[in-house]
Amino acid sequence: MPPLVEVRNLRFRYDDGTPALNGVDFRLEAGESVALLGANGSGKTTFVLHLNGLLTGQGSVEVCGLPVDKPNLAAIRNKVGLVFQDSESQLFMPTVLEDVAFGLLNRGMNAHEASERAKAALDTVGMAAAAARAPYHLSAGEKKRVAIAGVLTMEPEILVLDEPTTFLDPPGQRALAELLCHLPQAKILVTHDIPFAHAMCTRAVFFENGIIAAAGPVEEIVTRFGWEFALERRKLSR
C-alpha cells in the first residue's frame, strides 16, 4: 500500500533568504499518528504548509500518490485537512455553521447538502448547539473544535494540526485528545506538548535546523534530545 504522504529532499527558503527546510524526507502511512517535535523555528510549520500546497519548495511532495502541484491542488486540499494554530484566523465567516460549510461550498456542493453535512460535523465535535453563533463568542476550546469540524466536513484522509493544545486549558486539552482519538484519519501533530504527543502519537520525528534529525517512538525521541523533563514533570505532578 503506498504511503499517504511521501516527501523527498524538500528544501524551502523564505523570500528574505532565510532557509527553513534543508532536505526533509518524511513518510506517513495510513492510520498513523505522527508528532512533529523540535524547537521554535526548526521548520515544522513550514513543512506542514507544503502538504497542501500553501508553500512550494524544491524536492518532491506526494499526497495519496498525487504530486502536490497546481493541477492537483484542489484534490489535495480535499485530502489534507489543516487545522491552524490560531483558530481565530481559521474561523472567518459570520456564523459557526457558515464557517464549517465554507470548504464544502467551495467544492461546489449545494447549500442544503453543505448545511446538513456541516451540522453533522458540528455534532461530531460536540458543537451542534453553537451552529448559529458568531465565532468570536466562543471560548478557545470551542473555537478549536469548530475549526476541526470545518476540516472534518471535507472528509480528509489526513488531519494536520498545528499546535493543537495552544490556548487550551487542561480540560480543553483533555476534550481535544478524546475527540482526536475517535477520529479515524491519519494525523500529523505539530506540537511542543510532549505529554499530548505521547498520548496521541505512535511515533515522532524531531526537526532541527530544517531537517528531520531523528525519528522513532515519542519517548525515545524526547529522551534523545533532552526533552524528557516535560514527561518527568508530568509524572512528578502525579
For another protein, the closer CB: 149 or 218? 149
Least distance (Å) from another protein to the CB of residue 204? 24
Interstrand relation of 158-162 and 80-83 (parallel, antiparallel or unpaired): parallel
For another protein, the closer CB: 150 or 210? 150
How many helices, marked H, and strands, marked E, lie in the chain? 10, 10
For another protein, the closer CB: 116 or 178? 116
Q: Are 204 and 221 in contact (CB under 8 A)?
A: yes
Least distance (Å) from another protein to the CB of residue 222? 29
Helix ranges, 153-200 (H)? 170-181, 194-200
Residues contributing to the site for another protein (CB under 8 A)? 49, 52, 54, 74, 77-78, 80, 82, 84, 86, 88-90, 92-95, 97-98, 101-103, 105-107, 111, 114-115, 118, 134-137, 150-151, 154
Least distance (Å) from another protein to the CB of residue 68? 13
Around Cβ 169, how many Cβ atoms within 10 Å?
A: 12
Least distance (Å) from another protein to the CB of residue 2? 23
Rounded distance between C-alpha atoms, residue 204 and residue 215, angstroms: 6
For another protein, the closer CB: 25 or 88? 88
Around Cβ 193, how many Cβ atoms within 10 Å?
A: 20
The angle at the Cα of 71, spanning 106 to 28, to the nearest 5 degrees, equals 85
Least distance (Å) from another protein to the CB of residue 105? 4
For another protein, the closer CB: 101 or 176? 101
